[in-house]
Structure 1
Amino acid sequence: MDIYVNFLPPTPHNIQMEASAEVNQRIARITAHLHPSNLQMEENSSLRAANCRAKGGAPGFKVAILGAAGGIGQPLAMLMKINPLVSVLHLYDVVNSPGVTADISHMDTGAVVRGFLGQPQLESALTGMDLVIIPAGVPRKPGMTRDDLFNINAGIVKTLCEGIAKCCPNAIVNLISNPVNSTVPIAAEVFKKSGTYDPKRLLGVTMLDVVRANTFVAEVLGLDPREVDVPVVGGHSGVTILPLLSQVKPPCTLTKEESEYLTNRIQNGGTEVVEAKAGAGSATLSMAYAAVKFADACLRGLRGDAGVVECAFVASQVTELPFFASKVRLGRTGAEEIYQLGPLNEYERVGLEKAKKELAGSIQKVGNFPQTIFRSPISWVELQQFN
Structure 2
Amino acid sequence: MVKVTVCGAAGGIGQPLSLLLKQSPLVSHLSLYDIVNTPGVAADLSHINTKSKVTGHVGADQLEEAIKDSDVIVIPAGVPRKPGMTRDDLFKINAGIVRDLATAAAKFAPKAFMCIISNPVNSTVPIVAEVFKKHNVYDPRRIFGVTTLDIVRASTFIGELIGADPADVKCNVLGGHSGVTILPLLSQVPGTEKLTQEQIEKVTNRIQFGGDEVVKAKDGAGSATLSMAFAGARFALNVVEAAVKGTSTIECTYIDLAAATPEAIASVKEATGEQDIAYFSLPVELGPDGVKNTLPIGAISDYEKTLFTAAATELKGNIAKGAAF
Normalising by the residue count of structure 2, what TM-score does the alignment of the two structures yield? 0.92
Is it true that 1:359 corresponds to 2:295 in the alignment?
no
2:232 is equivalent to residue 276 of structure 1: no
Give the match for residue 104 of structure 2. Answer: 163
2: CA distance between counterparts of 1:64 and 1:315?
Answer: 22
**Partner of residue 303, structure 1:** 244
Bigger radius of gyration among the two? 1
Following TM superposition, by how much is the alpha carbon of 1:221 offset from its aligned partner in structure 2, in angstroms? 1.0
- Classify the secondary structure of the residue corresponding to 2:6: strand
Is the 8 Å Cα contact of residues 61 and 87 (structure 1) preserved in structure 2? yes
Q: How does 1:287-366 map to 2 (within 5 A)?
A: 287-316=228-257, 317=265, 318-319=268-269, 320=275, 321-366=277-322
Residue in 2 that maps onto 1:203: 144
TM-score (structure 1 length as normaliser):
0.77
Partners of 2:185 and 2:195 in 1: how far apart?
12
Report what 1:112 is aligned to. Answer: 53
Alignment of 1:27-106 (within 5 A): 60-106=1-47
Which one of the candidate residues 151, 156, 171 is aligned to 1:230?
Answer: 171
Structure 1 contact 230–249 (Cα < 8 Å) conserved: no
Structure 1 CA distance for aligned equivalents of residues 110 and 143 of structure 2: 11
Unaligned stretches of 5+ residues in structure 1: 1-59, 374-387
Which residue pairs with 1:186 in the alignment?
127
Give the Cα–Cα distance (whole angstroms) in 1 for the partners of residues 193 and 238 of structure 2: 26
User: What amino acid sits opposite 1:331 in the alignment?
Assistant: G
- 1:70–1:347: structure 2 CA closer, same or farther, 3 Å change rule? same
* Distance change >3 Å, CA 144–CA 225, structure 1 → 2: closer
Q: Does 1:213 align with 2:154?
A: yes
User: How far apart are residue 85 of structure 1 and its match?
Assistant: 1.3
For 2:9, the aligned partner's letter is: A
Equivalent residue in structure 2 for 1:124, among 65, 71, 85: 65
- The Cα offsets for residues 265-296 of structure 1, whole Å up to 9 and x where unpaired, read as 10110011111111111100000000011111
Secondary structure of 1:260's aligned partner: helix
Q: Deviations over 1:236-285 (max 9, x none)?
A: 00000010001115775432122111101101100111111111111000
Number of residues paired by the alignment? 310
Letter in 2 for 1:360: K
For 2:75 and 2:157, locate their aligned partners in 1 and report how far apart those are by CA, in whole Å: 27
> Between the two proteins, what is the percent identity of the paired residues?
54
Higher relative contact order (CA 8 A, sep 6+): 2
C-alpha distance after superposition, 1:195-235 (max 9, x if no partner): 00100000000000000000001001111111110000000
- Higher mean displacement: 249-258 or 93-102: 249-258
Q: Distance in 1 between matches of 2:83 and 2:190?
A: 41
Q: Does 1:177 align with 2:127?
A: no
In 2, the alpha carbon distance for the partners of 1:194 and 1:130 equals 18
Give unpaired runs (5+ residues) of structure 2: 258-264, 270-274
SS at match of 1:108: coil
The CA distance in 2 between the partners of 1:280 and 1:188, in whole Å, is 32
Q: 2:92 is matched with which residue?
A: 151
- Equivalents in 2 of 1:220, 1:305: separation in Å? 35
Q: 1:142–1:195: structure 2 CA closer, same or farther, 3 Å change rule?
A: same
Give, as a single letter, the amino acid of the residue that structure 1 aligns with 2:142: R
C-alpha distance in 2 between matches for 1:350 and 1:147: 24
Q: Say if 1:105 and 1:306 are closer, same or farther in 2 by CA, change over 3 A.
A: closer
- Corresponding residue number in structure 2 for 1:138: 79
